[in-house]
A and B are shown apart, each in its own frame.
Chain A
């Protein structure tokens, strides 16, 4: 059964071309994916991300629980609203999902997980939470709109309710704040500044129209993917999954090894992998020949082979780029097999374009 978000009619009214995404009827674009991409890089765009799963974790043991559940350490979060990006691992050290968790207060954390992994995530969290004094509540009545781009904050603030606008204006990067029944965070998935805004579903259609009125253009899932790829942000299920370790997924920086006595799920396995020597890593590729990189292409390098995990044409760089899992010994060049031809690619850090600038 496919589901619709509360903004479905808004998408259709904006000319959105609707496709199935993880069981949700979502807009892939509203005309030109490339124009939408540039709109976010140059001005401001809005994304309906209401299909994503918001989970509130509450109770006296919530911090202890999250220190066990997540590979990153929520003890790093000292100020209310501060966000942390983390992987949630299984016992084999594979990635169940990647997520953002906000520290609200000592007995309340808010987590945002992927839509495609909702069922297994909730089942896993519930199962692990059973032995802790923690309640797990999905907030499916909240809509979520991401407003991203260099002018996104200013334009969003101009149409937010006064109290919410005040709170939003003061936000530092990677911090969120609750204001009445709204929640605004200065986070995103594009490599541009902006907000992710949670609000009651019934208020979302009107808010969407107000943003449009303020010059924020609707952006589909297509541009969301090229924007996140340029920003070097992983897509769950594509760049990593339960069969891949965070250490081979460019998620090593999100693992909190200290304090050494913090036992989190999957720690033993990834610690063993680390001490044995990690064999692969996730890198960025920039195609030097003409063509377009996609996922699952063979990468040939001096010491063996690897595989692209996501690839596309980068509208900002006007070149094709990819993320690829390759042997750790890879040089600064390699070849990628496209339709039985080997094409040259440059190996770079997996960040291509952020905040209006090339990272190459």
Chain B
């Protein structure tokens, strides 16, 4: 059973989202997603400074098996990307919710996060897959 922390929000496309104290939003992929993808070998991060809409494909993660898009969970501007993933994308496999974060957003509207799934909804979502 994959890990689903209760303090995060989730999307149907398996991103997790965390509202930080400074008002930025950190995004990564869930434990379930990393497990399905397998060993990650490359991350093509989004460009810092770009404004994107919810649902936009903004980043690509590649495992040995396949390439997979990461989607913007909410509207906002990319403000940071995880530099450690350039050389060690496998951090995502080992620490999907902490060291394996992928990018940070300055949200257009913080309240948009409330529209995303909580841990229990995400859990039933992946059970239905």
A contact residues vs B (CB 8 Å cutoff): 28-29, 32-35, 222, 226, 290-292, 294, 312-313, 315, 320, 339
Contacts and interface: CB of A to CB of B under 8 A. Distances in A.
Interface residues of B, number: 12
A315 B42 contact: no
Contacts of A32: 38-39
Contacts of A291: 42, 44, 62
24 contacts: A32-B38, A33-B38, A33-B39, A33-B64, A34-B41, A34-B64, A35-B39, A222-B38, A222-B65, A290-B42, A290-B44, A290-B86, A291-B44, A291-B62, A292-B41, A292-B62, A294-B66, A313-B42, A313-B64, A315-B39, A315-B64, A320-B42, A339-B44, A339-B60
A29 B65 CA distance: 11
Nearest to B41: A313
Given A290-B86, A313-B62, 17 more contacts: A32-B39, A33-B38, A33-B39, A35-B39, A222-B65, A226-B64, A291-B42, A291-B62, A292-B41, A292-B42, A292-B67, A294-B66, A294-B67, A313-B42, A315-B64, A339-B44, A339-B60
A290 B39 CA distance: 16
* Interface pairs A-B: 7 shortest CB-CB: A313-B41, A34-B39, A292-B62, A292-B42, A33-B64, A313-B64, A33-B38
Interface in B70-97: 86
Contacts of A290: 42, 44, 86
Interface of A is mostly: mixed
Contacts, number: 39
Nearest to A291: B42
Nearest to B65: A222
A315 B64 CA distance: 8
Nearest to B60: A339
A168 B72 CA distance: 57
A213 B76 CA distance: 54
Nearest to A17: B38
A212 to B, nearest CB: 22
Contact of B65 (A33, A315, A339): A33
Nearest to A318: B41
In this complex, which of B42, B64, B65, B67 has the most chain A Cβ atoms within 10 angstroms of its Cβ? Answer: B64
A16 to B, nearest CB: 13
B60 to A, nearest CB: 7
A315 B67 CA distance: 16
Contacts of A313: 41-42, 62, 64
B5 to A, nearest CB: 23
Contacts of A28: 65
Interface string B21-50: 000000000000000001101101000000
Contacts of B62: 291-292, 313
